[in-house]
Chain A
Amino acid sequence: MAEVLVYVDHVDGAVRKSTLELLTLARRIGEPVAVALGNGAADTAATLAEHGAVKVLTHEAAEYADYLVVPKVDALQAAVEAVSPAAVLVPSSAEGKEVAARLALRIGSGITTDAVDLEVGDEGPVATQSVFAASFTTKSRVSKGTPVITVKPNSAAVEAAPAAGAVEALAVTFSVQATGTKVTARTPRESTGRPELTEAAIVVSGGRGVNGAENFAIIEALADSLGAAVGASRAAVDAGWYPHTSQIGQTGKSVSPQLYIASGISGAIQHRAGMQTSKTIVAINKDAEAPIFDLVDYGVVGDLFDVVPQLTEEIKTRKG
């Protein structure tokens, strides 16, 4: 059976959920071979094996943390040469897309980014993408070389599928370009204790209507009652009420949770681009004409300062 390379997104050996979703998709096409790089690479093997990786190629070197993007491209290229895979799957983070694009160019292959689904086709994997702020769905395939495909988080279920997960050292020679861009300092993002925005099953977000940083406490309280992540519109971020890392939309994160609750958000096209593929959408807005109501499964026309706290209380009561 053909092998499929899966690029592992991990932090010091802790594998991120998006990678496990890639393994589910990779198994549709062939046998997943994972590539884990940098500090803690070998520690990823057990988790990857549980989810279907037949092999885990690892390489640890300081370059992966000390320089931007290119060392990872060098390693993936080495893995492609070693394995001759049927496809290469990479998580669709900002960095993942850059790594994937440079890899594709080097190996003379086409690239598809931000796939939301993947199926087997007669002429190779067929990727589904959501375009124009998710108002269109396209199906496309790579027509030259080894398909390089980046996949958005929450595009597939995480499935247990025990496999060997044999760890093998990958031989990597870094290119001249590898040390071109130095990472001189790194400040890890502080954990909020809430789920990761792009991975969360439920996202509760606030916009300009929240009207102040201190008022985000009521959005957070609702999120916590549901075990949800907190997001924000750009208007709320630009006003300095919530960090940019929580921005949802075209120039922020793209989320696709089971449930999205928007409070005080009008639903501009650039915001929709980041949340329109959510399964169930709920909005609270005092303007009955707000475009967000065109998307909702359930909407409440009302003041969020009345509706949100009541909702939070009721959820707590129901949960006991």
Chain B
Amino acid sequence: MRIVVTVKYVPDATGDRHFADDLTVDRDDVDGLLSELDEYAVEQALQISENSDDDVEITVLTVGPEDAKDALRKALSMGADKAIHVEDDDLNGTDALGTSLVLAKAVEKAGYDLVISGMASTDGTMGVVPALLAERLGVPQVTLLSEVWVEDGTVTGRRDGDAASEQLEASLPAVMSVTDQSGEARYPSFKGIMAAKKKPVESWDLSDLDIEADQVGLEGAWTKVDSAAERPARTAGTIVKDEGEGGKQLAAFLAERKFV
């Protein structure tokens, strides 16, 4: 079975994230890393492989700038077998629809039975790429799973929705996404880190995928960001130390604001 895990290299959420002049996400001033939510996808791929009697080959795929290789290395050191890096200057500013196009073409070129994604990126947080990927590939979407089983060419899993918890089932090939409830991701071992250095990383550009420059990038995006403004810092509130009356003082504040 061939599993492709899509991963994203994102600016560290605990850093000072901001926008570049062209209103794309500034990736220069903040450290990047493998999106934590994609670690769960890598973990599930590894578990599927460990629990399978068949040979499973895990490829990690990223679309992103040169530094995005770091994300691939991390996934390889966790235990993935090989990596594909789609990199092209024309990709800067690509929106979710464009990203799903690049991923779909790359997944098809790589060959797959199962695609696994994280539930959302930690920077864009749209959470729509797995659904878009399924739409483009024309295969079932089994997304937002918190529990996963793959057996005999069938994916099953639990999706905790707003109104209900659902049990899903689809045949392979399929696109799956997993939540942060699916199981802690493992830390790379020392052996894993050393082994990752020798694992193959292929680089593809847009021409390898038969994608025209105007289908992606800022120009190809179907949404335009007109402005981005830092939210004004909240005006400093009143902070009191509880000297035995803290609850009552808080109640008085809530009453003054008409909540009580």
Contact = CB atoms under 8 A, between A and B. Distances in A.
Interface of A: 11, 68-70, 73, 93-95, 97-98, 100-102, 104-106, 109-114, 126, 130-145, 177, 180-189, 202, 226, 244-245, 250-251, 258-259, 269-270, 273, 280-282, 284, 288, 293-303, 306-315, 318-319
Most buried by A among B13, B128, B180, B241: B128
Contacts of A280: 257, 259
A251 B128 contact: no
Interface in B230-253: 230-231, 234, 237-242, 244-251, 253
A185 B166 contact: yes
B100 to A, nearest CB: 7
Given A69-B141, A183-B168, A314-B248, A300 B223 contact: no
Contact of B161 (A73, A95, A105): A95
A137 B250 contact: no
A181 B141 contact: yes
Contacts of B156: 184
Given A140-B226, A181-B140, A307-B242, A98 B128 contact: yes
Nearest to B128: A101
B83 to A, nearest CB: 25
A111 B28 CA distance: 27
A300 to B, nearest CB: 4
Nearest to B227: A139
B142 A181 contact: yes
A186 B227 contact: no
B223 A143 contact: yes
Given A181-B168, A301-B239, A314-B247, 15 more contacts: A68-B166, A94-B127, A95-B161, A101-B132, A109-B222, A110-B222, A184-B169, A259-B257, A280-B259, A296-B237, A298-B237, A302-B241, A302-B246, A310-B248, A314-B248
Interface stretch (B14-22, B46-54, B188-196, B199-207): B14-22
B44 to A, nearest CB: 15
Given A135-B230, A307-B242, A140 B223 contact: yes
B250 A143 contact: no
Nearest to A306: B242
Contact of B162 (A93, A102, A113, A244): A93
B138 to A, nearest CB: 6
A10 to B, nearest CB: 10
Contact of B225 (A70, A140, A303): A140
B8 to A, nearest CB: 14
A182 B141 CA distance: 10
A97 B127 CA distance: 8
Interface stretch (B68-76, B107-115, B117-125): B117-125
Contact of B97 (A110, A131, A140): A110
A271 to B, nearest CB: 11
Interface string B155-174: 01001111111111110001
A186 B161 CA distance: 10
Contacts of B251: 311, 314-315, 318
Contacts, number: 255
Contacts of A132: 17-18, 123
Contacts of A181: 140-142, 168-170, 174
Contacts of B221: 110, 143
A303 B239 contact: no
5 contacts: A101-B97, A110-B223, A131-B228, A202-B259, A314-B248
A169 B49 CA distance: 48
Nearest to A302: B242
Nearest to B140: A180
Interface in B96-111: 96-97, 100
B31 to A, nearest CB: 14
A185 B167 contact: yes
B209 interface: no
Given A106-B135, A185-B166, A307 B250 contact: yes
B128 to A, nearest CB: 4
Contacts of B225: 138-140
Contacts of B165: 186-187, 189
B139 A300 contact: no
B186 interface: no
Contacts of A93: 161-162
A315 B260 CA distance: 7
B141 A98 contact: yes
Contacts of B123: 132
B241 A288 contact: yes
B246 A136 contact: no
B181 A244 contact: yes
Contacts of A318: 251, 255, 260
A186 B143 CA distance: 15
A250 B168 contact: no
B226 to A, nearest CB: 5
Nearest to B101: A105
A302 B167 CA distance: 44
